[in-house]
Amino acid sequence: MVVVQFPRPRETAIVDVAQMEEIWIDRGSAEAGRIIGAALDDLAHSLACIGMSYRDARLDGIRTEAHAAAEIANRIGLDRLGRVARTVALLSSGRDVAALAANVDRLLRLGDGALAKVWDLQDRQV
């Protein structure tokens, strides 16, 4: 009997803490908390929409939400997540379904880790 194993890639989300601290310093803790909290909510929404659009084979939905996710991610110091989101947006215009699948999976995996990390950092700031 042959056993097939599927490796689960692991990649840590990287948060530009200096960029987040700049938001906290520039805006004050209460306003920064609201700004970052709203950005996290929007990012989580975009990631969920990307996942649903992928499952429904709606490439226009993937592209739109990936662009939105990239902008939000870059604004709050999640540069790697932003790069992967831009890659997903680009791939949603082409025919390489394997690359799109791999990058959507990577984006959602990184997104989950990034959201958890930023929420944790935000909790420490309060």
Range of the domain at 95: 17-125
Closest CA to 46 of 24, 17, 75, 22: 75
In a domain, 12, yes or no: no
75 φ, ψ (degrees, to nearest 5) = -65, -30
Other C-beta atoms closer than 10 Å to the C-beta of 11 total 11
pLDDT tens string, the chain, 126 residues long: the values are 777 666 677 777 777 777 777 877 787 777 878 888 899 999 999 999 999 999 999 999 999 999 999 999 999 889 999 999 999 999 999 889 999 999 999 999 999 999 888 877 666 655
Q: What is the pTM of this model?
A: 0.83
In a domain, 103, yes or no: yes
The pLDDT value given to residue 11: 76
CATH number assigned to the domain comprising residue 89: 1.20.120
> Residues 106, 84: contact at Cβ < 8 Å?
yes
